[in-house]
Amino acid sequence: MNRTTRAGITSLYDTHLQRCYVRGKLASDPVYAATAALLAGTQLPLLDIGCGLGLLGHYLHAEGHRQPYLGLDHDARKISAARHAAHRAGLDTAMSLRDGDATELPALLGHVTLLDVLHYLPRERQQTLLLMAARHLAPQGILIIRNVLREPNWRFQATRLEEFLLHASGWIRAGVQHYPSADELRGTLENAGLDVRVEPLRGLTPFNSYLIVAQPHR
């Protein structure tokens, strides 16, 4: 994505803080490009759980994706900002945004994304959510997860510090509940009948982030 497109998406947001966050994310975090690459060429709808400001929806649209996008987040402030941004971009119809908890997923069969969300749920709820997400996959659907994984390294410690600051600043209201390990996620997803791939995805960030891609056996 070029600088002009990034600036266009950034300008959709109302507050200085939101624009700083969006600018930084688009410039440094490879998660949206990685997701766009996985979803390229498919028209299946996308359920984006914990969508925050709806950045993924804007990114995909800017990259030419036209599948229906449904973003869900339990932070009403973020959903409101996401709706304003979608309206400003003329994407009210293309992007549907709902204020709701991840435990109540809308009836949709397609692809599912969970980008930097799981660790805000306790361990048992993570497993329940993964099983629910798996049930929302179409036969050709892909579950794309990006999350920090629990590992004994400095990146994990840097992530813990960042999460402390995010929570203290009020950007993330409920703080971290449980950092999953790769084995925990892999085990739950494989038991749900999915093939699983785990690989590092950090870009320019210092965080211990991984991309986890799960698909029904083909």
Q: Which two tokens stand for residue 209?
A: 């982030």
Quote the DSSP letter at residue 105: -
Q: How far is the CB of 217 from ligand SAM (least distance, A)?
A: 27
Is-contact 78 98, C-beta < 8 A? no
Using CA atoms, how far apart are residues 169 and 183, in angstroms rounded to an integer? 31
For ligand SAM, the closer CB: 44 or 82: 82
List of residues 6+ apart from 124 with CB closer than 8 A? none
Q: Which two tokens stand for residue 58?
A: 């804007």
For ligand SAM, the closer CB: 45 or 52: 52
For ligand SAM, the closer CB: 168 or 195: 168
For ligand SAM, the closer CB: 113 or 215: 113
Q: How far is the CB of 82 from ligand SAM (least distance, A)?
A: 9
Q: How far is the CB of 2 from ligand SAM (least distance, A)?
A: 20
Could you say whether residue 55 binds ligand SAM (CB under 6 A)?
A: yes
Could you say whether residue 83 binds ligand SAM (CB under 6 A)?
A: no
User: Residue ranges of the alpha helices (H) in the chain?
Assistant: 3-10, 16-28, 31-39, 55-62, 76-88, 123-135, 154-169, 182-191
Size of residue set near ligand SAM by CB under 6 A: 16
Query: What is the edge-to-edge ordering of all strands in the sheet holding 69-73?
Result: 95-99, 69-73, 46-49, 111-115, 143-148, 209-216, 194-200
Stretch that binds ligand SAM, among 71-79, 84-92, 148-156, 203-211 (CB under 6 A): 71-79
For ligand SAM, the closer CB: 82 or 137: 82
For ligand SAM, the closer CB: 81 or 134: 81
Could you say whether residue 79 binds ligand SAM (CB under 6 A)?
A: no
Q: Which two tokens stand for residue 177?
A: 């509940």
Q: How far is the CB of 166 from ligand SAM (least distance, A)?
A: 7
Could you say whether residue 73 binds ligand SAM (CB under 6 A)?
A: yes
Could you say whether residue 52 binds ligand SAM (CB under 6 A)?
A: yes
- Per CB under 6 A, contacts with ligand SAM among 109-148 are 115-117, 120-121
List of residues 6+ apart from 19 with CB closer than 8 A? 10, 11, 13
CA-to-CA separations, 189 to 52, 116, 132, 145, in angstroms, rounded? 24, 17, 11, 11
Binding-site ranges for ligand SAM (CB under 6 A)? 50-52, 55-56, 73-75, 78, 101-102, 115-117, 120-121
